[in-house]
Structure 1
Amino acid sequence: MDELDLIRDRAETVGFAPAEHLAPARERLLAAARGERRHRSRRWVWLGGASVGLAAAITAVVTLAPADQVGVGPAVAHADPVKVLTAAADTALKDPGKPPRPDQFLYVKTEYTIPPNREVWLSVDGTRDSLIGSAKEGGCRNGKAPMYGTNDPRAEGTLQDCTPKTIYRTDLPTTADAMLAYLYGKEADRAGRAGYIGKAVYTLAYEQVLQPASYAALFEAAAKVPGLTALDHVTDGAGRPGVGIEFPVSSGSSPKAQPIVLVFDATTYQFLGTTDSAVTVKTYVDAVGQRP
């Protein structure tokens, strides 16, 4: 690693300080370099020592600002969570949202920070057999669906009562208040249920398809949830950078519970996934097993 690589590495790790703090740090940087040179006679020794001195000085330059102004790693973002989610709603509303044919399948590829990844082929109208990873799921036809993957071989393929479930949701609210009421359901303690709302938003945005107005309402409703935090310098499960919206862990959760962080593109505000997972492909195909 040369000096420029070192600078880039340190800068990306700890962020940048405001301009008014840079002058004193610059003087320390130059002083450190001059001091290193006076005490090192051989060029290769000076370069090695200067790298260490530069690293320390660079750290001083980029971390001079107070902690609430400069983030280290995934720190609090300058953006407001409400503004991020509102921008995400605007982006979702602009999506043309072409309806699929009932006989098609929704193909979704999800990548995780810890493999394996996930692929699903879900029947749009719920009447055809779907495939979730390697597991087959029976479609509901005439009120009956075949059973697959049972522990009892004798039950394999036998029919059970069912109701078709479409993944193209036209039944969801199209306003923020109505969507928020839908997400909360019968939960009375709204202040302590933010974590559950985050998971509900995640579920609807992943392997289902909403109309553009409902997608927009989903993110606008999320913006009304109390206790959210915006995070800079996060990546989704596929390593794509973005801005994160952290939903606090709900009260009464396990001490090991981690907050869910939804990740949005920092420029377009398109929903990318979470810090643990990422929707990398989401489209319609004509048959199970087909990839775009």
Structure 2
Amino acid sequence: MNADHSRAGFARSETEELLAAPVDWDLSPSRHLHQKDILMQQIDRDHHSLGETSPAPRRRLPRLALMVPATSLALAGALVVTFSGSDHTSAPTAKPLVSSPARVTNASVTLGRIADAAMKTDTTPVKEDQFVYIRRLARENKGTFGGRVVLGAAHKEERWMSQKPGPVTTTGWLRSSGKDAVMPGQLGPITTSPAQPGLWYPTYTWLASLPTDPDALLKLLYTQTRVEKGDSKDEAVFGTVGELLSSVIMPPATASALYKAAAKIPGITWIPDATDAAGRHGIGITRRDTRSATRSVLIFNKDTLAYAGSQAYLISHKANARGTTDDVLFGIDAVMERGVVDRQGEVPATTAS
């Protein structure tokens, strides 16, 4: 979306001044885009009082921070806000706000089946000098400020996630290609403030150290997940689960415990048919929180129950003629391949062939 959206005849609000300020790259894109979502909501409230149209956000991305020239991102319509001195490794001291256990639903039963399948997966441990390779297709909102959502063309993203024990500032590498990709064909570093392995930098070794008791793991997620303004704790934890599924290779016991923990998050619902960016039909798990501006759908293969991709929706709070609401799809992706390689830029043998 275009940051140049000053209203003729009106002074820029404090929020818009923040949006126009110079930016650094201390936060990951998911945090940048999440803060942007919040600022967009504030601008929406300002505009609503003036009878103006509200913008549609771009979808949030996993917790990655690609170091690229600001001019290139401006051309791509990126919008970010910097919060300097953030500590990505320390957990909040507040008591975890774990909600009451969720009742048994189609969603929790499905996640139980997925957990059982994950436990049977044969996964080779990833060494600290290797990289987890993720290849995915993605379509994102390319609409203009104040206009309708327009999904861009599907483009390929490749990531090489570092497994070094830390602290590190380069957590991996990213390369995009295809129409509507940012800086197509260029391999760039994924950077952050110095980080130890954790939710912000989930290495295989760290994932293997997590508790495999679902209740203990859920408590850890509620303790360490940060809640941005406009989200509930439950929604934030559900988002954390989705971010992990999209960007790592997990030990089977950890993956199984994560799915069982997710089944306990209140408000999750089951979708019998959901389609990823590659056009593959699967089972969807979502959570719709009326206090949030967006919601995500996690998609799983109907046969293997493996994670396939996700959808992101802008939540509509207005009822249609059927008495329901029409949420707007503004982002969709599909994980096409995961693997382990020895160097950034290298692809698994199956991909190379």
**1:112 is aligned with what amino acid?**
A
Aligned equivalent of 2:55: none
| Structure 1 pair 236–137 and aligned structure 2 pair: CA distance change class (3 A) | closer
Superposed displacement of residue 132, structure 1: 2.1
Are residues 1:94 and 2:134 paired? Answer: no
Q: How far does the alpha carbon of each residue in 1:92-141 deviate from its partner, in whole angstroms, 9 at most, with x for none?
A: 11112211222211111121134333211122225696312332247xxx
After superposition, residues 105-116 of structure 1 pair within 5 angstroms as 105-114=131-140, 115-116=154-155
**2:121 is aligned with what amino acid?**
D
Instruction: Please list every run of at least 4 consecutive aligned residues from structure 1 whose deviation after the TM superposition is greater than 4 angstroms.
Output: 126-129, 160-166, 186-189
**2:173 is aligned with what amino acid?**
L
Are residues 1:81 and 2:107 paired? Answer: yes
Contact 1:201 1:218 (C-alpha < 8 Å) held by counterparts: yes
Aligned equivalent of 1:272: 308
Aligned equivalent of 1:229: 269
Superposed displacement of residue 188, structure 1: 12
Aligned equivalent of 2:214: 176
| Structure 1 pair 104–87 and aligned structure 2 pair: CA distance change class (3 A) | same
| Structure 1 pair 187–205 and aligned structure 2 pair: CA distance change class (3 A) | closer
| Structure 1 pair 244–135 and aligned structure 2 pair: CA distance change class (3 A) | same
**1:199 is aligned with what amino acid?**
G
Are residues 1:131 and 2:184 paired? Answer: no
Are residues 1:117 and 2:143 paired? Answer: no
Q: Which is worse superposed, 178-187 or 89-98?
A: 178-187
| Structure 1 pair 162–90 and aligned structure 2 pair: CA distance change class (3 A) | closer
| Structure 1 pair 136–186 and aligned structure 2 pair: CA distance change class (3 A) | closer
Which structure 1 segments of 5+ residues have no match? 1-78, 139-146, 148-159
Aligned equivalent of 1:16: none
Aligned equivalent of 1:154: none
Question: SS in structure 1 opposite 2:155?
Answer: coil
Superposed displacement of residue 236, structure 1: 1.5
Q: How far does the alpha carbon of each residue in 1:46-79 deviate from its partner, in whole angstroms, 9 at most, with x for none?
A: xxxxxxxxxxxxxxxxxxxxxxxxxxxxxxxxx8
Contact 1:195 1:250 (C-alpha < 8 Å) held by counterparts: no
| Structure 1 pair 237–194 and aligned structure 2 pair: CA distance change class (3 A) | farther
Superposed displacement of residue 264, structure 1: 0.9
Identity, in percent, stands at: 30
Superposed displacement of residue 248, structure 1: 1.7
Are residues 1:282 and 2:338 paired? Answer: yes
**2:110 is aligned with what amino acid?**
V
Aligned equivalent of 2:243: 203
- More helix as a share of residues: 1
> Which of residues 253, 265, 278 in structure 2 aligns to 1:238?
278
Contact 1:265 1:272 (C-alpha < 8 Å) held by counterparts: yes
Contact 1:126 1:166 (C-alpha < 8 Å) held by counterparts: no
Q: How far does the alpha carbon of each residue in 1:126-179 deviate from its partner, in whole angstroms, 9 at most, with x for none?
A: 5696312332247xxxxxxxx9xxxxxxxxxxxx96656562122222111011
Superposed displacement of residue 82, structure 1: 1.1
Q: Which is worse superposed, 113-122 or 235-244?
A: 113-122
Taking the aligned partners of 2:210 and 2:225, their CA distance within structure 1 comes to 18
**1:125 is aligned with what amino acid?**
K
Aligned equivalent of 1:63: none
The structure with the larger Rg is 1
**1:193 is aligned with what amino acid?**
K
Contact 1:243 1:263 (C-alpha < 8 Å) held by counterparts: yes
| Structure 1 pair 106–187 and aligned structure 2 pair: CA distance change class (3 A) | closer
Are residues 1:291 and 2:330 paired? Answer: no
Superposed displacement of residue 209, structure 1: 2.7
TM-score when scaled to structure 2?
Answer: 0.48
**1:263 is aligned with what amino acid?**
I
Which structure 2 segments of 5+ residues have no match? 1-104, 141-153, 176-186, 312-331, 349-353
Contact 2:249 2:338 (C-alpha < 8 Å) held by counterparts: no
Taking the aligned partners of 1:258 and 1:240, their CA distance within structure 2 comes to 23
Contact 2:238 2:265 (C-alpha < 8 Å) held by counterparts: no
Superposed displacement of residue 249, structure 1: 2.5
Superposed displacement of residue 291, structure 1: 1.3
Please report the RMSD computed on the Cα atoms of aligned residues, expressed in angstroms. Answer: 2.9
> Which of residues 176, 194, 203 in structure 2 aligns to 1:167?
203
Q: How many residues are treated as equivalent by the alignment?
A: 189
